[in-house]
Amino acid sequence: MASSLIGRSVVRVDAVGKATGSAAYGVDVTFPGMLHAKVLRCGVPHARIVRLDTSKARGLRGVRVVLTGEDVPIRHGPIIKDRPVLALDKVRYAGELVAAVAADDEEAAQAAIDAIEVDYEELPGAFDMEAALRPDAPLVHDDASAYDRVEVPGLRVAPAAGSNLCYHFKLRKGNVDAAFSRADVVVEDTFTTPKIQYCHLEPQVAVAQVDPTGQITVWASTMSPHLLRNMIAELAGVPAAKVRVITLMVGGGYGSKVYLGALNPLAVLLAMRAPNRAVRLAFDREDEFLTNDVRLPTRTIIKTAAMRDGTLLARKATTFWDKGPYALLGPVIVRNAGYCSLGPYRLPNAWIDGYLVYTNNQSGGGFRGLGVPQVAWAGEQQIDRVARELNIDPLELRLRNALRDGDVSITGETVHAVSVRQCLEQAAQAIDWGKNRDAEGPHRYGKGIACIIKSTLTPSASFSTAKLNSDGSVDILTSAIEHGQGAHTVLSQIVADELSLPLDRVRVIVQDTSVTPFDRSSTSSRTTFHMGNALKEAALDVRHQLAKLAADVLEVHVDDLEFVDGTIRVRGVPQHAYRYADILTRAFGSPATIVGQGACFTKPIYDPMDPDTGQSKRPSVYFMYGAQAAEVRVDVETGHYRVTRLASAVDAGKAINPSNCVQQIEGAAVMGLGFATMEELVSVDGRTLNPTFLDYKIPTSLDMPEMLNRIVEVPHPEGPYGAKGIGESSIATTAAAVGNALYAALGIQVHDLPIRAERVFRAIRSAAGRGRS
Amino acid sequence: MASSLIGRSVVRVDAVGKATGSAAYGVDVTFPGMLHAKVLRCGVPHARIVRLDTSKARGLRGVRVVLTGEDVPIRHGPIIKDRPVLALDKVRYAGELVAAVAADDEEAAQAAIDAIEVDYEELPGAFDMEAALRPDAPLVHDDASAYDRVEVPGLRVAPAAGSNLCYHFKLRKGNVDAAFSRADVVVEDTFTTPKIQYCHLEPQVAVAQVDPTGQITVWASTMSPHLLRNMIAELAGVPAAKVRVITLMVGGGYGSKVYLGALNPLAVLLAMRAPNRAVRLAFDREDEFLTNDVRLPTRTIIKTAAMRDGTLLARKATTFWDKGPYALLGPVIVRNAGYCSLGPYRLPNAWIDGYLVYTNNQSGGGFRGLGVPQVAWAGEQQIDRVARELNIDPLELRLRNALRDGDVSITGETVHAVSVRQCLEQAAQAIDWGKNRDAEGPHRYGKGIACIIKSTLTPSASFSTAKLNSDGSVDILTSAIEHGQGAHTVLSQIVADELSLPLDRVRVIVQDTSVTPFDRSSTSSRTTFHMGNALKEAALDVRHQLAKLAADVLEVHVDDLEFVDGTIRVRGVPQHAYRYADILTRAFGSPATIVGQGACFTKPIYDPMDPDTGQSKRPSVYFMYGAQAAEVRVDVETGHYRVTRLASAVDAGKAINPSNCVQQIEGAAVMGLGFATMEELVSVDGRTLNPTFLDYKIPTSLDMPEMLNRIVEVPHPEGPYGAKGIGESSIATTAAAVGNALYAALGIQVHDLPIRAERVFRAIRSAAGRGRS
């Protein structure tokens, strides 16, 4: 028998297509006679639209459709329907779109955009997330309570009129005040994180077409084609069956390309007014920087108490989240990051407040790590401070307090398959924890470590089918998107393995909502677990159906059959191997199909969180655990530093494709490095100053540390082969690990991200000043 | 509750798209950078290729691929693998392809074709189907027994070396010689039918593309995408999962666009040599006339015996079928038409021989009616001759002998749901049978009637799934092709009805072998029965799954639920109606999919025919019955005539969409009219003389009789709602009905099709001559 495909680093099924350039992405979709669309950004962060004149634009050659908010008075949103497709009366952030045009070519579309005249009456804005909560703050929405809302179990979202507070997350456990009183050590800090951009290589793009029957087809670069389909159907007022969302390869998403976004509804609404002509709307990089969502900036005031032996007693944290003007997935981010902000620790007392605040800054969206990178920056640096106060090694302090199997978590859940200790140990071992390199001239070395816990979207659902073809090969029908994470490879491995087939007889072909079953989204590191489970079940369903047919055809009991190397054999009679194709032909007297079904949905295990206490017996179907250790080399004279080594240990449950896992771990770590060391979308009073890659820096190959990746495998009882998601862990720990390493090197604490050399330099100077005084 | 959709003439789901021109067909598929292909026909009916020089062609600007038989030494065929993709050493009919070219544009491709030099050594040909069986006849294949064959249960195909006999069908029942001896009347005739073309509006076309991973995608105008996929996979030596056949609207097929054909393998083989560039090959009308298959020409020597009271005693028939050089589906045509050539009658004695003969004429293919139009032309005229000899009304004679429920058929089957009597009665009634119009000057009127029995492809299999979307709308996954017959409308009606949904919440979107389940083919009038059954089952599966979820969610017993107007209600509590979407959300805690499966496969009921006697307890899952009555007005001075009225009565079992049924009946009758009155591809020694619509006539609106269409509904116990196929019945009866009407008008018998005025004129003159002698 061929060895199992599970646990093998097979070459990615999309590798050849990508390497040769033949793999098609959303940006590659073009049609003859297609219209090209462009958008108009307002450029002012908060203003009333006094005049919006499109008459000149409408008169230009080649201009087919001009849309303003008046034409499409629609508001949407996954939780609060507060977001217009195009600004209605007011603009609420400088990247907001006020008009869109479709024309025969891009030049004509841009000329029309340039010919649109808008007069604004600027209004005072709410730009600081704390100040925005004051009673006298300018209101982003006159009455946010008036918008329609979508009920989400365990999430109490009820913005009040006259306030910019969008959502308030609360977690209450034990008695924090008493704990702080009796603790041996209590530390308190304030940490901040900036806006950063997703920077996916492929910008957002959609081609939409509406035929005379009203059938809407959208070729979209999306991580959630079925949610997009449902939302477009709602927008257009048609059954979902009349909307077809086709997704090709996605050139990176990281949470940006979910739900409607700013772009997709415009492509559809333009196409609905240009019957039978496809309309292509692609964001350029400036659109991405200015109009797209950002990682929510935060300010966290955090306080931790411990006993002398290192036992953590309590944590109290207040995080302000700068939401920008539209709620989007914000409440879920604040809730999930909120209870994860306590870290993977045993903690008897906690008091967490998360304030999601409407502002006139750029809107914040779900972003790889979903809030955990922000809260881990605060929480994991504070753990180090506790360790220093107690003179305990930071690794040792973490290990003493790390959750163990059977512990009751901070939400009241008895946790299992907890792997934070293994992650910490492996990351530490990889980087030779405890051995520090000596100073070299002005260079100092230091090591830091950090760890996280992260939930996954719960409840959610994934469905799939596997179609056994006449010749015994298999088509996989899944809506899971390949956005670079290797999902299609892992899913193919699972199906091939369950059906004892070589990998090349199994294909994932299309993601098309009209044919591939519902999947929630290829986000939240959920695909391997959810779609993997669904496809494992679908493959087993095929196998059972096939075995039943074979038992009939061969006149044996089904238990006497075995699947070997793509054939079925009767136990004890290895010389007769029946190809699947032969069984099908004999059973059906014809070429035939067997369709197997599978589903994974987590509602049955989900316990909605108590909105007053944040308590839940099972808020997440599984938790991701990861740890990272960083080594830095700092020039004490300039503050310039490099991350020289970065060790990431992440629990995959079971690594179905180890090399794929390493790529995911490393990819997330690189994004973590950008967040830690350089990325920041700088804005002043709602106006962004650096919307280009000239001024907004992301890591390049020259910035790479030595990457030390470790896969931990603590099987999750409900995962396929024990597997669970790993796509986000190592983005969330990097900043704190680097911050802690800098402290180890220099004895200085940085509170604000990104940790640019300039900040290090100032901290060194300031510490030196304090030292002198 | 909304009234049932079954039996309602809803507007076709493809009507708006077709009426507005937005519906896309295979000919509409284009891609940027696509190559255009052209083919070279040999032009000689039988020859050895002495020299084939493509060097000049290869050197021309823009020429990318030049293929000859040497490059692709492959033979294929659904039963006998005797057909090369491009001629190998020899050509065997004048339309055979010897080379194909793909170039940057059509002009370059044609220039390259024109630059190919071929020298032939012509060989004596076999052009007459009887003469070709003589021992001294030129051989079409040196040794046809040497080709690989595909075994088909109940079909003994074993061509012998040194003979042009491809297949011999035999039916032996009772004692025909004894019956002929004791009969009161015995009549014998010889009838012939010509080659005719399919004349589908959309010519054959395929766009093929092969990506660097070896994935083959073909946009094909085909009635059998899954068979095409499997055959391309075999040709290319890859798993079927690596071949994707996508079919859009098909602009008519009539049996032409099945299996590989001449065109599809070339498109694929060219594309395999032009990596990453799509290759489009479209036949022009001349290619269609000269290279495509034709309706098999026949010569039938037929003898029927009856008693004075009209009881039919025996029939003996020998039919020669001119196959051309490649077997294709020929043996199945000869077998199925063979046993149907006895008509829908009780006949205790029969002796049928069908000789399928290799010739150097154009190859014969499966064609709407599958051989029955040819044998009915002979058999149903002979029934009239028996009637005349016995002085019994031809309708009356037919009714006396018509099969009834519980009769044993000529193959030994006890038949049920027999409707030939009803068809005869309705056709006769529609045309006022028995009332004849008086002569008007030189014009004589006459009426004729004919009826048929036709089998459907058995065994065969259809599979499908129905996908209930989050919002309660449904996507239908079927590979059934819409080629003008209204299949997608009928299938949508079935699914919508079973799920109590309005029609517009149900969509058939794509036919794509990578996602839509296996279907044998949209041929043989099998779709409503097979795919209808499969989709009814799939919809019921959705319904059962949904009911089970609803029972859990609503905490009631599943039997207490009812489906009303797209909602689920608890019996006795009509005020609470739950939308399907709500049930899904409550059950899964998320948007969700329910996939229902269905299958219809006929192997379990199929009894393979005894190859020596043609006996089978169940050769076909159902039989089609139909009758047609024609009225003609003939000018006795010129022979010019018109079919003035044409009454078609066809048994639909149950007319799911009556107006669709009428369109099918009428469409087939018009093709029958062309076959009867004007169509003929004239060839002399294998060279076709009229390969254009200038010289090859088909009926136009000016030729239309008054069409009187009657739907008979004798429910078939195994059909969905009793339905079965009706797409072919009324093409098969027209010629004999018109022939019989002409006899009624003039007292002359035409033996050869088409019945052109010239033939009538000659028959009148010849009868007058006989009258004078």
**What confidence tier does A154 reach under pLDDT thresholds 50, 70, 90?**
confident
Q: Number of CB pairs < 8 Å for A and B?
A: 185
pLDDT tens sequence across A232-261 = 999 999 999 999 999 999 999 999 999 999
Is the Cβ of B217 closer than 8 Å to some Cβ of chain A? no
Q: Do A514 and B475 touch (CB under 8 A)?
A: yes
Is the Cβ of B441 closer than 8 Å to some Cβ of chain A? no
Q: Which residues of A touch B210 (CB under 8 A)?
A: none
Predicted local confidence at residue B567, as pLDDT: 94
Nearest-5° Cα angle at A347, A346 to A348: 120
Q: Mean pLDDT throughout A752-765?
A: 95
H or E element in which residue B760 lies: helix B757-772
Q: Which residues of A touch B461 (CB under 8 A)?
A: 588-592
H or E element in which residue B207 lies: strand B205-210
**What confidence tier does A574 reach under pLDDT thresholds 50, 70, 90?**
confident
Q: Do B509 and A506 touch (CB under 8 A)?
A: no
Q: Which residues does A700 contact at the CB level (< 8 Å), separation at least 6? A: none
Residue B43 has a CB neighbour count (10 Å cut-off) of 15
Predicted local confidence at residue B475, as pLDDT: 98
Q: Which residues does A761 contact at the CB level (< 8 Å), separation at least 6? A: A638, A639
Q: Mean pLDDT throughout B625-644?
A: 97
SS3 of residue B349 by DSSP: strand
What percent of chain A has pLDDT above 90? 96
Which ipTM score applies to this complex?
0.94
Q: Mean pLDDT throughout A717-724?
A: 98
Q: Is A712 in contact with A419 (CB distance < 8 Å)?
A: yes
Q: Where are the beta strands (DSSP E) in A371-521?
A: 443-455, 461-468, 474-477, 506-508, 511-512
Q: Is the pLDDT of residue A492 over 60?
A: yes
Q: Which of A459, A507, A593 sits opposite B590 (nearest CB)?
A: A459
Q: Which residues of B touch A211 (CB under 8 A)?
A: 17, 22
Best to test chain A binding among B155, B514, B601 (most A CBs inside 10 Å): B514
Is the Cβ of B556 closer than 8 Å to some Cβ of chain A? no
Q: Is the peptide bond before B619 cis (omega within 30 degrees of 0)?
A: no
Q: Mean pLDDT throughout A471-500?
A: 97
Q: Is the peptide bond before B754 cis (omega within 30 degrees of 0)?
A: yes
Structure tokens belonging to residue B407: 């009769």
Report the side by side order of strands in the sheet with B312-324: B165-173, B349-358, B312-324, B298-306, B185-193
Q: Mean pLDDT throughout B149-165?
A: 93
Q: Is the pLDDT of residue A540 over 50?
A: yes
Q: Is the pLDDT of residue A363 over 50?
A: yes
Q: Do A16 and B602 touch (CB under 8 A)?
A: no
Q: Which of B474, B505, B515 sits opposite A477 (nearest CB)?
A: B515
Q: Which of A212, A465, A515 sits opposite B20 (nearest CB)?
A: A212
A260 exposure class (CB count in 10 Å sphere: 0-12, 13-18, 19+): buried
pLDDT tens sequence across A406-423 = 999 999 999 999 999 999
HEC sequence for B419-476: CHHHHHHHHHHHCCCCCCCCCECCEEEEEEEEEEEEECCCCCEEEEEEEECCCCCEEE
Q: Which of B507, B587, B588 sits opposite A242 (nearest CB)?
A: B507
Q: Which residues of B touch A463 (CB under 8 A)?
A: 592-593, 595
Instruction: Provide the residue type at B541 as one letter.
Output: D
Q: How far is B91 from chain A (nearest CA, A)?
A: 32
Q: Is the pLDDT of residue A2 over 60?
A: no
Structure tokens belonging to residue B441: 């000057």
Residues B607, B610: Cα–Cα separation, whole Å: 9
Q: How far is B464 from chain A (nearest CA, A)?
A: 9
pLDDT tens sequence across A603-620 = 999 999 999 999 999 999
Q: Which of residues 141-200 of A touch B (CB under 8 A)?
A: 153
B644 exposure class (CB count in 10 Å sphere: 0-12, 13-18, 19+): middle
Q: Which residues of B touch A210 (CB under 8 A)?
A: none
Q: Which residues of A touch B606 (CB under 8 A)?
A: 589
The distance from CA A475 to its chain's CA centroid, rounded to whole angstroms, is: 28
Q: Is A533 in contact with A462 (CB distance < 8 Å)?
A: yes
What percent of chain A has pLDDT above 70? 99
Question: Is the C-alpha dihedral spanning A401, A407, A409, A410 positive or negative?
Answer: negative
Q: Which of B20, B471, B595 sits opposite A240 (nearest CB)?
A: B471
pLDDT tens sequence across A77-125 = 999 999 999 999 999 999 999 999 999 999 999 999 999 999 999 999 9
Residues B444, B500: Cα–Cα separation, whole Å: 55
Q: Which residues of B touch A33 (CB under 8 A)?
A: none
Residues B678, B233: Cα–Cα separation, whole Å: 41
Residue B3 has a CB neighbour count (10 Å cut-off) of 8
Work out the mean pLDDT of chain A and round it to a whole number: 96
Q: Do B276 and A22 touch (CB under 8 A)?
A: yes
DSSP-derived pairing of the beta strands A35-41 and A279-282? parallel
pLDDT tens sequence across B735-746 = 999 999 999 999
Is the Cβ of A589 closer than 8 Å to some Cβ of chain B? yes
**What confidence tier does A773 reach under pLDDT thresholds 50, 70, 90?**
very low
**Residue among B70, B726, B714 nearest B421 (CA):** B714
Q: Which residues of A touch B32 (CB under 8 A)?
A: 30
**Residue among B220, B187, B217 nearest B204 (CA):** B220
Q: Mean pLDDT throughout B118-138?
A: 97
**What confidence tier does B1 reach under pLDDT thresholds 50, 70, 90?**
very low
**What confidence tier does B773 reach under pLDDT thresholds 50, 70, 90?**
very low
**Residue among B694, B692, B686, B698 nearest B286 (CA):** B692
Q: Mean pLDDT throughout A369-377?
A: 98
Q: DSSP states of A31-78 as a string?
A: -TT-EEEEEEE---SSEEEEEEE-HHHHTSTTEEEEEEGGG---EE-S
Q: Mean pLDDT throughout A351-373?
A: 97
Q: Mean pLDDT throughout B688-693?
A: 97
Q: Mean pLDDT throughout A9-14?
A: 96
**What confidence tier does A51 reach under pLDDT thresholds 50, 70, 90?**
very high
Q: How far is A239 from chain B (nearest CA, A)?
A: 6
Q: Which of A211, A276, A518 sits opposite B591 (nearest CB)?
A: A518
What percent of chain B has pLDDT above 70? 99
Return the residue matching tokens 């499109």.
A54
pLDDT tens sequence across A462-476 = 999 999 999 999 999
Q: Which of residues 17-46 of B touch A (CB under 8 A)?
A: 17, 20, 22, 30, 32
**Residue among A329, A368, A362 nearest A198 (CA):** A368
The distance from CA A285 to its chain's CA centroid, rounded to whole angstroms, is: 20
Residues paired with residue A300 on neighbouring β-strands, in sequence order:
A191, A319
Predicted local confidence at residue B771, as pLDDT: 60
Best to test chain A binding among B590, B600, B621 (most A CBs inside 10 Å): B590
B565 exposure class (CB count in 10 Å sphere: 0-12, 13-18, 19+): exposed
Residues paired with residue A444 on neighbouring β-strands, in sequence order:
A634
Residues B325, B375: Cα–Cα separation, whole Å: 22
H or E element in which residue A673 lies: helix A658-677
pLDDT tens sequence across B444-465 = 999 999 999 999 999 999 999 9
State which residue of chain A sits closest to B507, comparing Cα positions.
A241
Q: Which residues of A touch B477 (CB under 8 A)?
A: 515
Work out the mean pLDDT of chain B and round it to a whole number: 96
Residues A318, B277: Cα–Cα separation, whole Å: 58
What percent of chain B has pLDDT above 90? 96
Q: Is the pLDDT of residue B355 over 90?
A: yes
Predicted local confidence at residue B768, as pLDDT: 84
Q: Is the pLDDT of residue A452 over 80?
A: yes
Predicted local confidence at residue B228, as pLDDT: 98
pLDDT tens sequence across A642-687 = 999 999 999 999 999 999 999 999 999 999 999 999 999 999 999 9
Q: Is B324 in contact with B93 (CB distance < 8 Å)?
A: yes
Q: Is the pLDDT of residue A698 over 90?
A: yes
Structure tokens belonging to residue B82: 């005797």
Q: Mean pLDDT throughout A452-471?
A: 97
Q: Do B467 and A515 touch (CB under 8 A)?
A: yes
Q: Is B740 in contact with B450 (CB distance < 8 Å)?
A: yes
Q: How far is A604 from chain B (nearest CA, A)?
A: 8
Q: Mean pLDDT throughout B682-691?
A: 97
**Residue among B420, B417, B396 nearest B406 (CA):** B417
Q: Which of residues 223-242 of A touch B (CB under 8 A)?
A: 226-227, 230, 233, 239-242
H or E element in which residue B662 lies: helix B658-677
Residues B61, B63: Cα–Cα separation, whole Å: 6
Predicted local confidence at residue A1, as pLDDT: 42
Q: Is the pLDDT of residue B257 over 90?
A: yes
Q: Which residues of A touch B467 (CB under 8 A)?
A: 515, 517
Best to test chain A binding among B213, B232, B594 (most A CBs inside 10 Å): B213
Is the Cβ of A592 closer than 8 Å to some Cβ of chain B? yes
Q: Do B276 and A20 touch (CB under 8 A)?
A: yes
Q: Which residues of B touch A475 (CB under 8 A)?
A: 241, 514-515
Residues A529, A722: Cα–Cα separation, whole Å: 9
Q: Which of residues 260-319 of B touch A (CB under 8 A)?
A: 276
Q: Looking at beta carbons, which pairs linking A546-549 to residues 24 or more positions away fall under 8 Å?
A: A546/A468, A546/A580, A546/A583, A546/A584, A546/A594, A549/A583, A549/A584, A549/A587, A549/A594
Length reported for chain A = 773
Q: Which residues does B474 contact at the CB level (< 8 Å), separation at least 6? A: A241, B466, B467, B468, B495, B496, B499, B501, B505, B506, B507, B539, B542
H or E element in which residue B169 lies: strand B165-173
Is the Cβ of B470 closer than 8 Å to some Cβ of chain A? yes
Structure tokens belonging to residue B433: 């049978």
Q: Is the pLDDT of residue A448 over 60?
A: yes
DSSP-derived pairing of the beta strands A443-455 and A298-306? unpaired
Length reported for chain B = 773
State which residue of chain A sits closest to B154, comparing Cα positions.
A589
Q: Mean pLDDT throughout A588-605?
A: 96
Residues A229, A218: Cα–Cα separation, whole Å: 9
Predicted local confidence at residue B361, as pLDDT: 98
